[in-house]
Every structure is written in C-alpha cells, then in structure tokens.
C-alpha cells in the first residue's frame, strides 16, 4: 500500500515545516514563514492567509493536518512518524502516544497497527526495520514486554482513548498511581524535572512523560476542551500531530487536503444524492429496490472481473419515545415480514450491538441492512454502506449530520464500472426538507466536504408539507380535536412490493423514485468525471482555492495582458504509450522522470563515493534550550559526537553482517523516498557500500549519518539522472517523445510570499525573489520590446520543463511584443554545478522541439558556463527579440 499523490503532498508539507524549524530554530517563526510561503501573508483585517502559530502545548511543536473523512488519516500518520523522528536526534526514544476519542476506534486502531497482514503495520515495519510494538494501556500497567531496553530499540506505539487520561474513574486513575512493574524506568531517570506533582515516580504517566513522546491525536476536533488540552500537556510531548476533517480555531494547520483530491483518487462516493419522498413507507421501498439495483450492478461487475461489493442500507430509525414511533425493533420485524432473511439485518445502537465481531467486507457475510439511530459515528468503517435511509417523523428535519460520513467511503479506493456504484444516497421523507438539507451540509462539512457535494430531488407534495406544518399549531389550539393519523406514523408494508433476490423491472409500482435516482447518478457521475479531468489539465492550485476560497490571498492576471496571456500554451514533453496493443492504439501522456526510470537497476552501478571532508551535521530537539522560552522548542545542530557513543558501541558490538544491516537501516531513514527506485534496491546498494568499510569508517558513518546520507543520495540520484537522460535521448530520436501545447497561465494563483512591485508583471501580485532575480527582471522589464513577465511558481504550481530531470521550474516567463516566449532560469555565480548543466541541456532540448517562438535561457551574473549566458549576453539577445 503506497501513499496517494495528495497523501505524499501532506508528508512533503510536514517535512518542509520541519526543515523550516531547523532553519529558524523557533517554532513561531518557522510556522509563520512556512505558511506565508505556502498560502500568503496573514491579514487579520480580511482573514486571508493562515493565522500565526498558537502556543498551546509547552515545549512541543503542535501542528494539524486537515484530511476529509475517508482520506486515509491513519495511513498518513503512519508515514508521518518516520518523517517526524528523522528530525530528532537518534537517541530520542521513538515513543508514540496515539490518542483516539472512542473505544470502537481504539480497538480498530490497535488491530490495524498490530496485525502483520494489515497495510498499516506492513508500512510501519518497512519504515522502522520491523522493530515496532503496539501497546494498550493495560499492557503498560502490567509492564508486559515494556522496559527501558525494549523502548530504546524499537518504535513504541501506545494506543489510548481520551477518556483513559482525563477520566476520573477508578480504573483510569491507575495511570497516575504507583506501579512497581515500571520501577526500571524510574531507575533510568536523569532528573525529576518531568515528574508530575504529587505523583509517584513509577506511575505510568511519569514513565510516558520521561519519554517525551510524539503524540498523534486522531479526530482532534474532539480534543479541544480545556480538559483535553491539560491531557496533552500531562503527556509532556515533544511533538503533537493533530488529524481531523474539521480543524478548530486554535489549530496550527501545516497541510490540508482539498475534498476534490479524494474524488480524484476515488476515495469517496460523491456527490451524495438526496431524494425526499412523500412518506417513510416509500423511503423503505426505495431503499430496498435501490439496494437491490446496486447489488445487481455489483454482481454484473464481478462477473466481468471486478471487485466484490455487497451494498448495505443504513436505516436511521426514529428514537424510541413512544409506541407509535418507528423503533428499530418494529422496523426489523417489518423487514423480515417482507421476506428479508433475519441474518441480513443487524441492529447497532448504544444499547445493542449486533455488528460486534462481524467482518462486513467478507464475501461470506450476509449483512445487507443495518438499523441504527445515531450510534454509527466517526470510527465506524464499512465502504459497502451506500444508502442512508432516514425514518424520522415527517414533521422532523432529518438529522443525519452524525452518520452521513459513514456512507462516503469508496470500496477498494477505485472507480467502479457502473456510475451508480461511485455515488452515495440519502433517502428521506421530511416536510422540513430545507432544514434537512442544511443538516446534510453540516454532515458533509463535518466530514471535510462542502455544500457543493450533494444533489437533491424533492417529490413530497407541497400540500403535504403545508398540512404537516399547520398541525403543531392546531394541536396546541385544539388539543381535544387532535388525533394521531396512523398513516402518518406507521409503515404500510402492504404498499411495498418487494421480493428479495429478484430484481423488479421498471413497471413495478413505486420504482419511479429509483429510476429518477438512477438518472441523477448517471448524470452526476459524468459531470464529476469532467470536473476531475479539468483538474488534471489545469492549474494545480484550483483544488486548494476551492477548499479555502476567500481565506487565501490570490493574484489575478492584469486586464491589460489577459487576452495575450490566454493565447499562450507552453509546450511540455509527452510520451507516446500504447493503450491497446492488439490494435496499436496509443495515447500521449505527460512525461515524467519516473517513466524513464522504469527499467533502471541500481545494482548495475558503481558505489564510488568521495566521503572526504564530510562535516558534522547532526540534529536533535533540545528540550533544555526550550526552557528559555516556555513555548518554543527548537531543532538544533550538535557538534558533540560523543553523545551518540552508547548507540554506536551497541551497534558495532554486533556481528559484521548485522552491523551492515543496522547501519543500512539507519541510512535509509535519512535518505528518504527515492521513488520509483525500490527501497530494497537502495538497501542492497547501501550494503554494497558498507561491506568494504573498516570499523572506524562504520563508526564515522554512525556519528555523521546525515552527511554520509547526503553524499550517498546524491550519488544514487546522479546514476538515476544519467540513465533517465540516456533514455530520454533515445525516445526523442525514435519519435516517442515530443512536445505538445499543455500549460497555460491560470486566471488566479496563490502567490505566497509577495515579491517587489515591478512594472509589466503579468499578475497584480508576483512571488518573492532573491536579489539577483530582482535585478534581472527589473532590467528586462524596462526593455521596450517586453510586453509582460511572470515569476514562475514551483513545486507543482507553475510551469515545469518536464523530462529527464525531476521537473525543472524556470524562474521567469517573459513575453515580447513580437510574440516570443522566453523561459529564463537565473543562477547566482555560486550556483554553477552539474545539476545546472543538466537543466540547461534539458531547457535547450525543450526550446529546440517546442518551436521557434519559444526560447530557453539559463543566466549567470558573470560566470561563463557551457550552454548558459552571462546577464549582459542575455540582455543583448532579449533586446533583439
């Protein structure tokens, strides 16, 4: 299981934030600088940008990742742990307290992180060299395989509920009580500064505090009370990672996932189709027939080689307040009376849980109907739930906010062949349909989505709504005349024509609503496909703009240049691929370096690396320094190599083959992901490097790991770049790679940190520039033949010359009065290196194939580099264009 592109971006964002901490040595400054570059300067007057860092937890960086429901928050957190611990010193214990709000989510999290066959545990094993142990609170209280030695050698994850730390129950108080099973930890304490007042040093809470754990807060919007904040403070964390679909006002957001990204990756069944029926009898009828229709499509898809799906209806029953109301017991009896087998119906309420121990995704599971009230909240997970059928009284505004998110998760995270299997459904019978829709919007927003993610159809007659609306007043004025209309409250089973396991045709009475729903689903699926395709073709910031709207300061194209800019389509390299080998049908896809590296084998390349003159470059979190400012921990360099000696001696005491595997693992963590090169190839390459080293050299690697990792990573990348360039030249020669018009200027963009105001800029705000860049573009903009210029953006936002280098983003795009488009890359004289030479070769090849109106220039201040220009040379050429 690998990260989706938007999940990769979240990890990249977290890494960038940690690098900002390293650069600024101050959490507040690091956060403010990071968010300004990403989303623009915060303006308290109009609320644009991201507010400054909020100090909540002393001595800890406390940041939030916003991910909609079904976005894979847990898998993101699993991958984030490695990124976070890589920013710490090696001696920092890899201890994690993973907090969840409910007991069912606790059980689910423990099982998923512990099960060796689950993708989450498999990823943890890969990231932490199979040294992972997951505990519950009871395990720690008993000291079960939990001691200082074990903790120092592994990733320790303690899964706990909020209640176990903030509850006053006797059972939960054990966390704060003396515990002889944990005395070995107390013997290891360097001092008593971490001890909670009036709490024994052997208490579990003090053991946890001594480890300065990383704290993962799942569904963190449930941990915003003063009591919850105190709970986090009591853990004495070094880092707090909040995960939620709905961040609160005091959240420090470092990454947010737009809802459309989940649709693009087929993570969710959206939009939600909401159909309002005349009464709840028709709600049940539609639910039964619609589910049957969906299952028929699923069976058809399975026969064609698709995945197994067994669509499930969630019946949201009326709360049991009187005998006339539809209760879950009565509803189950009515469903059974229609011929539905008892085993296909389960009840899940606060008092009764018939789902416990059942694997709803299993092909042997018969469950097709689940009756609940509001018990299915966050943490309940079944992608087969497609239909939410509410049986609230007609006079009620249907409250689906709490459980709407339970029908949104897409089975198998893929687009299914039939459009109806990619959408979720809400069936109601509410005279207060407008209020019901507002509750649906709240439910979508609570799941991280928006009011644009549903489509409605209302067939309840206005006369019925008017009559229902008048009844409360009549009952108040004339109580002696009021009577309960049995047809209003009861379900008329005689009106439901339904036969299990027999798909009814379109002439069956009562199926009009199902036909309309089917028509809506088909149309909405086609519209969503168009929206996703548009996102793939256009500017990458569109999803973010749609997510944050006016909260982000945007830049607009100036009216004077709008028409000219709209005519420019910058070419990019495309690769011809065969879509149908039988008929020779092909298509052209945007080229990336990964496609050129598909046959790259690192095992074929040398390990000759110059490790001379490596400088010490080690990092840790210095909690002691943080005490100078109660709220500001800092990640700082350390030069005292002896601090690592205990760990170094421990590793070097092992046999040589185990030393090599251990050091290779250590290096893998700092080298990071080099996709598409498989991790196993990188690991074997590292072992080849280490095999010929002496004990002293191995010791040196351990004490200067980051510096060695940088050299090795650079060597691997140089091998990969050279291979990719060779493949690129071959594919160009045989005509498989060509340039096609692809990229155009977006009407709006997020400029991030704004640059100086310079005449003829394409946008009313352009991004920040360094001193040399300002000088270059100021002089070029002053030329009479230049119509406009643009400060190109990076990291997926701007124009990239794609090819054998991982996307090359030139600094400026300049348009002349004669129609020439100049793509210009600036380099200070200190930036002359082989990477610049490769980018220059790529740029020249792009200009050669793009057409005579496109020019590429790499510009140095004075230095002369093959293929590049000095600034004076470039100015002379541009004046002639």
- Tens-digit pLDDT profile for residues 524-581: 888 877 777 766 655 556 556 656 656 677 888 999 999 999 999 999 999 987 654 4
Supply the pLDDT for residue 482: 44
- Tens-digit pLDDT profile for residues 45-79: 666 677 888 888 888 889 999 888 888 899 999 99
Please name the residue that has the structure tokens 């707090």.
240
The C-alpha atoms of residue 580 and residue 54 are separated, in whole angstroms, by 55
Task: Please state, in angstroms and as integers, the Cα–Cα distance from residue 315 to each residue in 163, 346, 471, following that order.
Answer: 30, 10, 26
The C-alpha atoms of residue 272 and residue 268 are separated, in whole angstroms, by 10
The phi, psi pair for 822, rounded to 5°, reads -105, 120
Helix axes 280-303, 512-537, angle to 10 degrees: 60
Give every CB contact of residue 808 below 8 A, 6+ residues apart in sequence: 800, 801, 802, 825, 839, 842, 843
Which CATH code fits 262-532?
3.40.50.300
Please name the residue that has the structure tokens 């993973």.
98
Supply the pLDDT for residue 580: 47
Supply the pLDDT for residue 170: 53
Q: State the maximum Cα–Cα separation within the chain, in Å, rounded to a whole number.
A: 99
For residue 19, what is the enclosing H or E element?
A: helix 5-24
Edge-first strand listing for the sheet containing 854-860: 786-791, 812-816, 821-827, 854-860, 869-870
Domain boundaries along the sequence of the chain: 5-257, 262-532, 596-618+637-732, 744-879
Supply the pLDDT for residue 350: 73
Looking only at the bridges linking them, the beta strands covering 555-556 and 748-749 are: antiparallel
The C-alpha atoms of residue 621 and residue 560 are separated, in whole angstroms, by 51
Residue 409 is given by DSSP the state: B
Question: How many other CB atoms are found less than 10 A from the CB of residue 541?
Answer: 19
Q: Where are the alpha helices (DSSP H) in 567-671?
A: 593-596, 623-626, 645-652, 656-671
Supply the pLDDT for residue 834: 62
Sites in the chain below the pLDDT cut of 50? 321-326, 473-488, 580-585, 616-631, 634, 636-643
Supply the pLDDT for residue 710: 85
Supply the pLDDT for residue 127: 87
The phi, psi pair for 564, rounded to 5°, reads -65, -45
HSE-up (13 A, CA, CB side) for residue 488:
14
Q: Is the pTM of this model over 0.85?
A: no
CATH level 3 topology of 5-257:
Rossmann fold (3.40.50)
CA 316 from centre of chain: 30
List the structure tokens of 550. Answer: 């006016």
Judge whether 5-257 and 262-532 match in fold. yes
CATH architecture of structural domain 744-879: 3-Layer(aba) Sandwich (3.40)
The phi, psi pair for 569, rounded to 5°, reads -125, 105
- Tens-digit pLDDT profile for residues 488-531: 456 777 788 777 877 666 556 557 888 888 888 888 888 877 77
């Amino acid at each position: 299981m690998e990260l989706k592109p938007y999940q990769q971006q979240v990890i990249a964002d977290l890494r960038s934030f940690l690098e900002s901490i390293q650069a600024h040595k101050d959490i507040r400054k690091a956060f403010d600088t990071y968010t300004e570059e990403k989303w623009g300067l915060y303006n308290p007057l109009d609320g644009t940008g991201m507010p400054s860092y909020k100090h909540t937890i002393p001595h800890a960086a406390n940041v939030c990742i916003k991910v909609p429901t079904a976005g894979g928050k847990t898998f993101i957190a699993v991958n984030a742990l490695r990124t976070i611990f890589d920013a710490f010193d090696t001696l920092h214990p890899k201890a994690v307290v993973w907090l969840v709000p409910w007991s069912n989510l606790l059980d689910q999290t423990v099982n998923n992180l512990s099960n060796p066959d689950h993708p989450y545990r498999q990823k943890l094993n890969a990231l932490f060299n199979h040294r992972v142990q997951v505990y519950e609170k009871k395990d720690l209280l008993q000291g079960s395989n939990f001691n200082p030695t074990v903790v120092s050698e592994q990733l320790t994850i303690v899964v706990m509920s909020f209640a176990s730390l903030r509850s006053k129950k006797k059972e939960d108080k054990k966390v704060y009580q003396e515990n002889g099973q944990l005395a070995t930890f107390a013997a290891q304490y360097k001092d008593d500064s971490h001890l909670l007042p009036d709490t024994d040093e052997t208490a579990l809470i003090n053991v946890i505090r001594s480890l300065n754990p990383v704290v993962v807060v799942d569904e963190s919007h449930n941990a915003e009370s003063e009591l919850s904040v105190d709970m986090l403070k009591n853990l004495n964390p070094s880092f707090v990672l909040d995960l939620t679909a709905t961040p609160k006002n005091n959240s420090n957001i470092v990454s947010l996932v737009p809802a459309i990204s989940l649709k693009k990756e087929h993570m969710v069944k959206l939009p939600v189709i909401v159909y309002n029926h005349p009464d709840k009898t028709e709600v049940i009828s539609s639910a039964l027939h619609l589910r049957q229709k969906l299952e028929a499509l699923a069976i058809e898809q399975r026969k064609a080689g698709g995945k197994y799906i067994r669509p499930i209806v969630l019946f949201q029953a009326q709360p049991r307040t009187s005998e006339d109301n539809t209760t879950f017991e009565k509803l189950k009896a009515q469903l059974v009376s229609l011929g539905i087998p008892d085993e296909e119906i389960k009840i899940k309420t606060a008092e009764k849980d018939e789902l416990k121990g059942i694997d709803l995704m299993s092909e042997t599971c018969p469950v097709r109907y689940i009756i609940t009230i509001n018990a299915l909240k966050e943490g309940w997970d079944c992608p087969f739930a497609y239909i939410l059928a509410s049986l609230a009284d007609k006079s009620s505004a249907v409250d689906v906010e709490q459980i709407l998110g339970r029908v949104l998760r897409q089975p198998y995270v893929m687009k299914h062949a039939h459009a109806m299997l990619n959408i979720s459904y809400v069936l109601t019978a509410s005279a207060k349909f407008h209020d019901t829709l507002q509750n649906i919007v709240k439910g979508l927003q609570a799941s991280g989505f928006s009011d644009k993610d549903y489509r409605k159809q209302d067939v309840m007659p206005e006369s019925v709504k008017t009559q229902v609306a008048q009844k409360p007043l009549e009952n108040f004025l004339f109580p002696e005349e009021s009577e309960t209309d049995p047809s209003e409250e009861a379900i008329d089973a005689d009106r439901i024509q339904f036969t299990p396991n027999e798909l009814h045709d379109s002439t069956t009475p009562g199926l009009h609503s199902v036909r309309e729903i089917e028509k809506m689903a088909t149309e909405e699926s086609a519209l969503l496909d168009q929206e996703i395709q548009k996102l793939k073709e256009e500017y990458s910031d569109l999803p973010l703009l749609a997510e944050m709207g006016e909260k982000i300061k945007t830049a607009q194209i100036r009216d004077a240049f709008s028409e000219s800019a709209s005519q420019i389509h910058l070419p990019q390299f495309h690769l011809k691929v065969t879509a149908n080998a039988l008929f020779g049908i092909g298509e052209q896809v945007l080229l990336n370096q990964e496609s050129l590296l598909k046959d790259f084998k690192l095992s074929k390349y040398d390990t000759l690396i110059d490790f001379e003159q490596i400088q010490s470059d080690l990092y840790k979190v210095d909690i002691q320094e943080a005490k100078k400012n109660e709220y500001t921990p800092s990640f700082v360099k350390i030069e005292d190599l002896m601090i690592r000696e205990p760990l170094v001696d421990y590793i070097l005491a092992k046999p040589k083959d185990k030393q090599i595997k251990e050091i290779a693992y250590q290096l893998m963590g700092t080298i990071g992901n080099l996709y598409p090169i498989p991790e196993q190839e990188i690991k074997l390459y590292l072992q080849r490097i280490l095999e010929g080293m002496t004990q002293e050299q191995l010791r040196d690697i351990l004490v200067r790991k980051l510096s060695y990792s940088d050299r090795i990573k650079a060597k691997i990348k140089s091998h990969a770049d050279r291979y990719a360039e060779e493949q690129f030249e071959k594919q160009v020669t045989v005509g498989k790679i060509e340039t096609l018009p692809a990229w155009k200027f977006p009407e709006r963009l997020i400029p991030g940190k704004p640059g100086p105001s310079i005449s003829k800029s394409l946008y009313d705000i352009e991004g920040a520039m360094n001193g040399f860049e300002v000088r270059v573009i100021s002089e070029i903009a002053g030329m009479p033949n230049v119509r406009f210029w643009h400060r190109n953006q990076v990291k997926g936002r701007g124009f990239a010359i794609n090819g054998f280098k991982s996307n090359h983003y030139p600094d400026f795009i300049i348009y002349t009065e004669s129609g020439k488009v100049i793509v210009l890359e600036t380099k200070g004289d200190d930036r002359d290196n082989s990477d610049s030479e490769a980018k220059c070769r790529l740029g020249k090849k792009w200009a050669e194939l793009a057409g005579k109106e496109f020019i590429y220039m790499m510009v140095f201040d004075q230095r002369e580099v093959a293929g590049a220009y000095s600034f004076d040379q470039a100015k002379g050429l541009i004046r002639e264009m």
